[in-house]
A and B are shown apart, each in its own frame.
Chain A
Amino acid sequence: MEDLVAEKHVKYILSVEKKKDDFESLVLEHLRMNGAYWGLTTLDLLHKLGAVDPDEVISWMMECYHQDCRGFGGNIGHDPHLLYTLSAVQVLALFDRLDVLDIEKVSDYVAGLQNGDGSFSGDIWGETDTRFSYCAICCLSILHRLDKIDVEKAVNYIVSCKNLDGGFGSIPGGESHAGQIFCCVGALAITGSLHHVDRDLLGWWLCERQCKDGGLNGRPEKLTDVCYSWWVLSSLIMIDRVHWIDKDKLTRFILNCQDRENGGISDRPDNAVDVFHTYFGVAGLSLMEYPGLKSLDPAYALPVDVVNRIFFGKQRAPSLLAS
């Protein structure tokens, strides 16, 4: 079997950070906060988070923070949004630097985006989507502030987006899609509500995403793509059905999508690489217990040691003491 060219991927990620001027980088400039999360989490999974200077990253991140409304934008000058606020919180958790945040204010911003029906808007403009339910719930859980929202309503809204194939859509009636399923299953996992999922039905739908080439697609009769390694695998793990796919075949598919010369992973073999797919490829390998990688938590999308630090670490110890 082909190996993971880990060092090349590290080099690639570090180079992307510096390359800002070509058209492809510019197109993605508004979501650089997501890019930072993808790149840095990949580095951490490869045990190379030490290659970046946390202070440099954090000071840039804080320039994306909006003092007035307390959310993070995707880059300096861009508007605040849940998508980037979650990424920012995740990156700070990676560096164990959540202390730089005004946690009350950030969590107020997130909680303030909950609507009357339990759903979440991504920002003040009101687009509603179960992706934002996940962002809000994951973010507040990391900050230990889940009590600021109506969790029961949030869960009921997600359940109302459940489809007859066992999957979930972006709003009630929306078609099941692996990315959307991850968001809904992840939010239900974090809120202890996975009993709302028909695990056999959804598990079968998800495992049928694996196609002849070994890769996974995101919906029936679509092309396979490395990014679904993350969305599908993490969902299958959360519902304890990941053994229903062939891990060896999927591992080979991901490894075949590597740019073995310059590093990085692409959506499909021989396509152009990007940070997004590099993260999802490495994340997928981690979820399949590929040797030498840190393991990733399927719900929080952070390395397991980071999640354990958040929930069982020293700073949490006082509230764990016997009453």
Chain B
Amino acid sequence: MHGRPRIALKPEDAATSAAKAAKLRDLQAQLLLHHHHRIYTSEALAVSSKLLEMNPEIYTAWNYRKLALQHNLNEVTDPEIVKSTVEDELRVVEMALRRNPKSYGAWYHRKWVLSRGLAPVDFEREFRLLDQLLKADARNFHGWTYRRFVAKLKNVSEEEEIKFTMDMINTNFSNYSAWHNRSVLLSQLLKQKAQGFDSKDGILTEEYEFVHQALFTDPSDQSGWFYHLWLLDQTASPDELFLISSWPVPGSDLVLSTNEKMDGYKLFPTSNFSLCYFFHKQTFPIILYFNQAVKGVSSSTVTINSMFGANENLIWKPLSTTTSREAHCWVTYLNIPDVNSSSLQACSVEISLGHSEGIVSSNGSCYKYPLQFKYTIKLNNNNLEQFDGESIQELFVWNYEDVCCPAEIPYINSFDQLKISEDSVAKGLKDKKWCLETLSNEINLFKELSEENCKFVNLTLARLLVAHDAMMSHGALLVRKSTHSEEVLKLYEELIKLDPTHKRYYEDERSLVLMSQVTLDEEFLMKHTWHFNKLTSSSFHNHACLQLSGLSLSRISFAERLLWVQMLDLSHNNLRSIAGLEALQLLVCLNLSNNQVSSFTALEPLKLLDSLRVLDVSFNEIGAHPIDTTRFLCLSPLSHTLDVKLSVDQYQNGDIKFGDHWEAILLFKDLRLTQLDVRGNAVANERFGILLTEMLPTLNWLNGEHVRL
């Protein structure tokens, strides 16, 4: 029930209502009787039409009329009888729609009758009806859906329908339904490259002008802004597929040093011995990061030539928390040869892609730039003094009192050294000339309007500036210093004041800009990268630790710029989600303490981090919220993405029920943590601690206390 005032009926109204109720009850009873006894006489049909006029929603009555039509026309060949029967149906529908123009049953009945093809359709009548109904309510989406149906039935051209949306919009700019229909029709024509629609640039330019009229007339009306956002997306979103980052960095000259036991190795650049990676296994990761999520990365689309084994044996894995086999970031592992028996001293690893067209993004673009790059790896089995292997005994504390700052970080801005796409970027930019010009025009236009304190103007301006920066930096950093990020941050600050209802949205958008700013700034990164070199018995002290704490980050982005990080401190931010971290395949230690993570399901990306050993999620909100907002964004039986092949009984002892802790169980059973801190979360109690130690046999430290010897 909608729009009925909450008042008691006056006695005389109550009497009318009772009379109406009696009539309705009688008609309903008669209808059901006719329906069940298959009585399709004209008297019986009259009952159903009276009923539908009173209550068009009663679906069984529409079904009854369909059966009646089929029954009564079964052996009829006289076109006049057929025609008048069809007419009757259309009349009943019209009556019903006059009572309720949003009746699903009535609209479908009309479609059903016309789709029979029993009599020629009087299209004039159909469009007349639509005109009446859309005049009464220009936003009636049933009407619009029916219009698309009739237009298709009559083979009305898309161009003509576009003109109709133009008329509707000119009558009233605030007609989201018309804008929507326009976007549907236009994108169809652009996709078909229909005559007059083969130049996307030309069409979009006209559309920008058209929507400006609406935006300037009433900037507070949402309808035009959503259309403008679609145009912006058409202008700025990348068609081209690029590789934007990789690990190791192309051209790296690395020394790989292992011990005789072969239970791990150390890797460092020839130029800098103090910065090294420890790997506790005998495989060497190669990571590729694309500007869009892609599928189809495999040993046939990417070739790796090296002495480390045959290319066709390599298995590429998408780093994705879904079952889609589509990801920005892909990883494969090379096997390290046995240095004891091998005479190998130095070898090169050569990677090439683009030779075949199998790498495809979700919007259908193919990776097509042939690309080759290589690393040199010198093998060495003398350099490794003492190796701790997997058994990291020492409690690691994120304590910055005893740290030192590395002189240089050769891995920073690895994306910058990925010179691979420079040619294609140059070519791409030329293609994008129109896009960049358009973005600049729009930016100038909305800058003029931004004084008016309209949230949509400010938000659009922020989006335009971000899009402009992104387009300028595709694949390489051509404009590092001239980005608009300061300006955008200021716009979001203003938006938070202007529209506090959507504060958290603006904060999340701001966080993306902050992440971009921080990860681009070499000086900042140098200042926030540390070595914990006072640690004695642990192998951690050689890892570079990036400290991004206390920055008001609420989500992660630009992970492609952080592929080199082995220790990451994200404490004291406002993170609710860690989506994106799955790309950091080298990560060993992660500090998420003092954030707003509210469930274990939000930690799903950690399952993809094979090297992760130390995790701090203390002082978050895990267990504090009865509503889990990532319940359907992780692999689980609820979404049919995970067949639980583990014994429920195993975790079903005493007070612990699998159903109560499935999120924790499904997360931790796949992690090989040696240290975990969950203090300061609602979920953390003694019983839960027992569950964790049972689930994590590798665990040495829980909540700062030694678990087992």
Contact = CB atoms under 8 A, between A and B. Distances in A.
Contacts of B378: none
A131 B558 CA distance: 37
A320 B648 contact: yes
Given A175-B144, A240-B630, A192 B639 contact: yes
A29 interface: yes
A93 interface: no
Determine chain A's interface SS by DSSP, over half rule: loop
Contacts of A125: 62-63, 66, 108, 112
A133 interface: no
B626 A220 contact: no
Interface stretch (B21-29, B243-251, B446-454, B531-539): B21-29
Contacts of B504: 243-244
Nearest to A299: B632
A273 interface: yes
Contacts of A220: 176, 222-223, 226
In this complex, the member of B1, B58, B174, B221 whose beta carbon has the largest number of chain A beta carbons within 10 angstroms is B1
Contacts of B32: 77-78
Interface string B439-473: 00000000000000000000000000000000000
A94 to B, nearest CB: 17
A60 interface: no
A13 interface: no
Interface stretch (B322-330, B410-418, B563-571, B694-702): B322-330
Contacts of A296: 627
B391 interface: no
Counting chain A residues whose Cβ lies within 8 A of the other chain, the interface size class is 35 or more
Contacts of B202: none
Interface stretch (A3-11, A101-109, A310-318): A310-318
A69 to B, nearest CB: 12
Contacts of A242: 627, 629
A214 B648 CA distance: 44
A220 B139 CA distance: 10
Contact of A271 (B4, B20, B148): B4
A169 B145 CA distance: 10
A221 B177 CA distance: 10
Contact of B633 (A190, A194, A210, A219): A194
B113 to A, nearest CB: 11
B6 A259 contact: yes
A208 B499 CA distance: 11
Nearest to A313: B659
Interface string B4-28: 1111000000000110110011001
Nearest to B323: A192
A243 B574 CA distance: 12
Interface in B265-301: none
A23 B27 CA distance: 13
B71 interface: no
Contacts of A239: 633
B139 A222 contact: yes
A131 to B, nearest CB: 9
A208 B372 CA distance: 46
In this complex, the member of B3, B7, B174, B503 whose beta carbon has the largest number of chain A beta carbons within 10 angstroms is B3
Given A81-B59, A259-B6, A173 B148 contact: yes
Contact of A312 (B66, B625, B659): B659
Contact of B627 (A29, A151, A173, A237): A237
Interface stretch (B120-128, B180-188, B308-316, B522-530): B180-188
A295 interface: yes
Contacts of B342: none
B659 A127 contact: no
A189 interface: yes
A110 to B, nearest CB: 16
B142 to A, nearest CB: 9
Interface stretch (A35-43, A50-58, A111-119, A301-309): A301-309
Contacts of A321: 647-649
B508 interface: yes
19 contacts: A21-B25, A26-B25, A127-B112, A176-B180, A191-B639, A192-B322, A192-B635, A204-B505, A220-B222, A243-B629, A245-B501, A267-B1, A271-B6, A286-B627, A289-B625, A296-B627, A308-B662, A320-B645, A323-B645
Given A23-B20, A245-B501, A296-B627, 5 more contacts: A30-B58, A125-B62, A170-B141, A208-B222, A270-B6
Interface of A: 21-24, 26-27, 29-31, 73-74, 77-79, 81, 123, 125-127, 129, 141, 146, 151, 163-165, 169-171, 173-177, 189-195, 203-205, 207-208, 210, 219-222, 225, 237-240, 242-246, 249, 259, 266-268, 270-274, 276-277, 286-289, 295-299, 304, 307-309, 311-313, 317, 320-323
**Which 6 pairs between the two chains have the least Cβ-Cβ distance?**
A192-B641, A312-B659, A192-B639, A189-B632, A295-B626, A23-B21
